[in-house]
Amino acid sequence: MAIVALDHEFRPMEVSDLDRVLVNERRGYTHQWSEGIFRDCIRSKYDCWVLEYVSRVIGHGILSVAAGEAHLLNVCIHPDQQGNGLGRQLVEFMIECARLNKAQRVFLEVRPSNLVAYKLYESIGFNEIGIRENYYPSYVGREDALVLGKELL
């Protein structure tokens, strides 16, 4: 299944996409996921999607769904494509995937230092529900994660 929206489309991530996914991941994050983590997500049948624009992978999302709950594990838009509403579209698409998989709620973690992402999630209806101390690696020590949740009614 591919979902086409104007000049871009969401389609299932394939192993052959990983080279481009890793480029986006490295450009988008200071502490990236490894190729092995992405391979494990695909192998485990998580909802793994890419956002393609003019036949170029410019974003990706990974969602795990179990026991009526979804966990948005990774959302990335290539930095050159940020600020155009594509991150919002990707997150909303992943939320719809959670709904289609019968999830009643969706959770995610975000760095407190990533104010742009936090504000995006807040504007989509996520609420802060907790903190995971020392969750993320950082250049100096570790950084907490804010845990956000959204009910899917």
Which tens digit of pLDDT belongs to each residue from 8-55?
899 999 999 999 999 999 998 888 999 999 999 999 999 999 999 888
CATH architecture of 3-151: 3-Layer(aba) Sandwich (3.40)
What tokens appear for 61 in the block? 């999302």
Helix (H, G, I), strand (E, B) or coil at 20: helix
| pLDDT at residue 3 tops 90 | no
| CA distance linking residue 104 with residue 99, whole number of Å | 7
What whole-number distance in Å separates Cα of residue 62 and Cα of residue 41? 8
53 noted as active-site residue: no
**151 catalytic residue (yes or no):** no
> What ranges do the domains of the chain cover?
3-151
Q: What is the pLDDT of residue 1?
A: 53
pLDDT of 4 over the 70 cut: no
pTM of the model: 0.91
Q: Which of 109, 118, 128, 135 is catalytic?
A: 109
pLDDT in tens, 94-148: 999 999 999 999 999 999 999 999 999 999 999 999 999 988 888 888 999 999 9
pLDDT for the residue 120: 97
Tell me what the mean pLDDT of segment 41-70 comes to.
96
